[in-house]
Chains A and B, each alone.
Chain A
Amino acid sequence: NAGVTQTPKFRVLKTGQSMTLLCAQDMNHEYMYWYRQDPGMGLRLIHYSVGEGTTAKGEVPDGYNVSRLKKQNFLLGLESAAPSQTSVYFCASSYLTSGERETQYFGPGTRLLVL
């Protein structure tokens, strides 16, 4: 059981380049999330998905797009990278929330540097 995995672990981009971050989970979780973490800012939600084929905006969605074509995968895309997107990106997943407490399981993170 690998849990939540993220690819790549580290990437350097030039301004204007595009890339896709992949998140995969093998726990059959319904909910998946993408966060970014910057010094002094904590974790901020970018986009999330409550099930296969659905996505929704979080707190800081601008400049990012997501897709959830398969239940186990959640992709985060940067169409035209900007230096302000330099950050650590965490993916997380959890069971379907129905008023009960459900914990999130996080991937190891992707460190992105945009020059």
Chain B
Amino acid sequence: RKEVEQDPGPFNVPEGATVAFNCTYSNSASQSFFWYRQDCRKEPKLLMSVYSSGNEDGRFTAQLNRASQYISLLIRDSKLSDSATYLCVDHLSGGSYIPTFGRGTSLIVHP
């Protein structure tokens, strides 16, 4: 069983919409999470870190819910350029600092 689970989607939304993805993790001791963005046939790139207190960067907000063991990514006012696959990462896997990636959630923003 994958330790980090994501809904693969695709999430198909119009421009300007608000969309949210969740990512569940199984290691209750995990404390360090990230969201990466991956464009088609490109390498993943860091989008943002996920802090216990939440993290906001422009139109993007990341939250951590320890009680339910999931992290979320909220994108407001979606742009066409937001179309990509979003990967969540648990940076503490099995007690060692080896990242575990989710399989990614595909987002398609249409005009």
Contacts and interface: CB of A to CB of B under 8 A. Distances in A.
Contacts, number: 45
Contact of A109 (B8, B43, B99, B104): B43
B78 interface: no
Contacts of B10: none
Mostly helix, strand, loop or mixed at chain B's interface?
A: loop
Interface of A: 33, 35, 40-43, 45, 48, 58, 90, 97, 99, 101-104, 106-109
Nearest to B44: A106
Given A40-B8, A42-B103, A42-B104, A104 B46 contact: yes
Contact of B98 (A40, A58, A101, A109): A58
A23 B99 CA distance: 19
A43 B87 CA distance: 9
Contact of A97 (B8, B34, B97, B103): B97
